Amino acid sequence: MIKLRLKRYGRKQKPTYRIIAIDAKSRREGRALKEVGFYDPIQNNTRLDIPSILDLLKVGAQPTETVKYILYKAGILK
């Protein structure tokens, strides 16, 4: 199963995240199948590759709760 989840980048106390598609059994920092977005919680900055996200959701990718909330705020999920 493919999951859409966050992958942590940045330094201590200043995290940034990339939204990635990854196999559900892989660890958080594992090799991503595809990067589909960027999220910076400190500056409240989000960049999404909407066509790629929609394609992944159509083939059955499951977003985590946090990614689901980010997609809901962006208007992708209803």
Interval 21-74: pLDDT, tens = 999 888 767 788 999 999 999 999 999 999 999 999 999 999 999 999 999 999
- CATH assignment of the domain containing 65: 3.30.1320.10
Band the pLDDT of 78: cuts 50, 70, 90. confident
The residue range of the domain holding 48 is 2-74
Alpha helix ranges (H) inside the chain: 50-58, 65-74
**Which residue shows structure tokens 């990339």?**
18
Domain count, the chain: 1
Whole-prediction pTM: 0.87
Q: Are strands 62-63 and 2-11 parallel, antiparallel or unpaired?
A: parallel
Task: Name 49's Cβ contacts closer than 8 Å, sequence gap at least 6.
Answer: 35, 36, 37
pLDDT value for 35: 94
pLDDT value for 27: 75
Give the separation between CA 62 and CA 25, rounded to whole angstroms: 13
pLDDT value for 30: 76
